[in-house]
Structure 1
Amino acid sequence: MSSVTPAFFTAEGDHFVPQREAANPWFDHAVAGGPISGLFGHIAEQRGLIGEGFAISRMTIDILGIVPSAPLTATIEPVRIGRQVRLNRINLKHDNHVVAQALVQAARLLDTPPALPSNGYPAPEDVAPGTFLANGSLQRIVRTRPLQGSVTRPGPGQVWLALDADIVSGTLASPFVKSCVFADFGNGVGSATRAAEWSFANLDVGIHFLRDPHGEWILVDADTIAGGNGHGLARSTMVDAEGVFAIATQTVFVAPGSLTPRMEANARSAVG
């Protein structure tokens, strides 16, 4: 058995090359939202967008159409570099065309009174392992300890997640970068519809960080609300062993659904 750690991307010169683990469950030959979010987190961390004495307070990611499973490059554009706040835009490009972008906001660290939600969740070691995800490639690299729900059933969901993969091969993914990946899971963890009937693909990801995450396990507590007009909002509370560290949102595009053959096979295996 290979000892090489799986990865969503490999770095080849200035390019990030998607691997099979990054496959999009909705579209063939495309990259999924979680790996895209994780790549933005990796770039922010590796290229110094956080900065000494600062912490990420917000990251908003817009997916500007289908991100192809092809070499991608990243450019960084400063938007605001102030004493208290730094804001940078990361553009992810294919063939010099922007396919996704992220605004990364970092705020100066100060010693201030905390106002965190109470942590009423059981610790990951107190929750039994179980099958929660329906995507075959993710099942190989994401361990799950479910508390409530499943991606195969509509309704709120709660699940501890641990990622056994690098975002970019050869670079150990930090808890911050892994949390960027899992922030994209909310529309599946807490879906409001069945994928065979109504799609729930997300158009964006927004993450408000209250503090830096720590440890191996991250819990996503998610639900989805919708107004019956073609779009909705997935909302996720993100938790580590120390408590709540972020709130994430996704705009969900709702349309008559159709599962790809790969999704149908994964869904059958998950419930069979």
Structure 2
Amino acid sequence: MEAFYRQVDEGRFESLPPTAGPWSPHAQHAGPPAALLARAMEMHEPRADMRLADVRLDILGPIPLAPLHVEVEVLRAGRSMELLQASASADGRPLAIARAWRIVRAPEDFPSLTGHRAAGPGAVPDTEVTDDERYLRMPGAHEDGYLRAVEWRIVEGGVGTGGTTVAWGRQRIPLLAGEVPTPWQRTLVLADSGGGITLTVDPRRHTYINCDLHVALDRDPDGEWIRMSSQALASPGHGGTVHTTLADGHGDLGTGLQTMVAQNARG
């Protein structure tokens, strides 16, 4: 595996096989596109005194393994906060839109506000694991794409164990060939997996797929491992959500939210 994408021109990216999601070798997992659009916003007229604070991705339909054209615009400029928007399309068809607030960094002497956060998440488990245990396994899933590009250490729960999971994950390959992923890019590659690591419904009988991803970080993560504490919720007759608390080795750093479309599988 080389990378998730290869840049072929300004604003144009080749989608490589590791972007393929678990349900089809022809459709991308939303994590890599989310990170790709965040990269575009990070690189658009950057300022050293500002950082991305949140990223909201809206998925307009299945994202094919096809060349993606990425565009960025500023919706609201300002000295202390800016609203950016990035879009991805293929053959002129819009596929995903992301918006992000870029805000001025808090002063180093600003008071620390911790809310109800626990003391710390602990360390990445260093127990020996087999190759199969490093990756998520799902019934009927395509395993040669994204599922093999991300490595996991399950702390609690897991696929098929009740809808709550605590796990450490890291991407095994760069977002773009020859580039080191930024903290935000690493986070987004993983954060869309909240619905995957908590998967409990049988995908052959029920579909539980997100139409968006919203991640807010009050602190940039440190290191390549991201800890996710995720819970899947579904209300019959209504819908579902997946809530994720994100952390690194220093402690909690933000939250992720996915809106889930819960349906019976079509026979």
- The TM tier, using the shorter chain, reads 0.7 to 0.9
The 2-side partners of 1:138 and 1:94 are apart by: 20
Query: Percent identity at matched positions?
Result: 25
Query: What SS does the aligned partner of 1:110 have?
Result: coil
Aligned to 1:142: 150
Name which of 10, 16, 19 aligns with 1:19: 16
Structure 1 runs (4+) deviating above 6 angstroms are: none
Contact 2:151 / 2:172 at 8 angstroms: preserved in 1? yes
Query: What SS does the aligned partner of 1:250 have?
Result: strand
Name which of 17, 27, 39 aligns with 1:30: 27
| Alignment-mate amino acid for residue 42 of structure 2 | E
Aligned to 2:140: none
Query: What SS does the aligned partner of 2:192 have?
Result: helix
TM score, norm. by length of structure 2: 0.87
State the Cα deviation string for residues 210-256 of structure 1 (Å, max 9, x = none): 11111121111100112213521100001101111110000111111
Query: What SS does the aligned partner of 1:52 have?
Result: coil
Aligned to 1:270: none
Aligned to 1:85: 81
Contact 1:146 / 1:158 at 8 angstroms: preserved in 2? yes
| Alignment-mate amino acid for residue 190 of structure 2 | F
| Alignment-mate amino acid for residue 249 of structure 2 | A
Query: What SS does the aligned partner of 2:18 have?
Result: helix
| Alignment-mate amino acid for residue 121 of structure 1 | P
Name which of 112, 115, 128 aligns with 1:114: 112
State the Cα deviation string for residues 117-167 of structure 1 (Å, max 9, x = none): 224422014555444512443443322111012224442001111211111
Distance 1:28 1:138, change over 3 A: closer
Bigger helix fraction: 1
Q: CA deviation at 1:28?
A: 4.4
Name which of 84, 94, 100 aligns with 2:96: 100
Query: What SS does the aligned partner of 1:200 have?
Result: strand
Aligned to 1:178: 186
- Farther-moved stretch of structure 1 (154-163 vs 193-202): 193-202
Q: CA deviation at 1:21?
A: 0.3
Contact 1:230 / 1:253 at 8 angstroms: preserved in 2? no
Contact 1:145 / 1:159 at 8 angstroms: preserved in 2? yes
Contact 2:120 / 2:250 at 8 angstroms: preserved in 1? no
Contact 2:195 / 2:242 at 8 angstroms: preserved in 1? yes
Distance 1:31 1:139, change over 3 A: closer
Contact 2:83 / 2:102 at 8 angstroms: preserved in 1? yes
The 2-side partners of 1:230 and 1:17 are apart by: 38
| Alignment-mate amino acid for residue 62 of structure 1 | D
The 2-side partners of 1:211 and 1:124 are apart by: 19
TM score, norm. by length of structure 1: 0.86
Contact 1:199 / 1:258 at 8 angstroms: preserved in 2? no
- Farther-moved stretch of structure 1 (121-130 vs 73-82): 121-130
Unaligned runs of 5+ in 2: 138-142
Aligned to 2:250: 242
The 2-side partners of 1:153 and 1:138 are apart by: 22
Contact 2:232 / 2:240 at 8 angstroms: preserved in 1? yes
Contact 2:21 / 2:146 at 8 angstroms: preserved in 1? no
Q: What is the CA RMSD across the aligned residues, in angstroms?
A: 2.0
Query: What SS does the aligned partner of 2:181 have?
Result: coil
Contact 2:194 / 2:244 at 8 angstroms: preserved in 1? yes
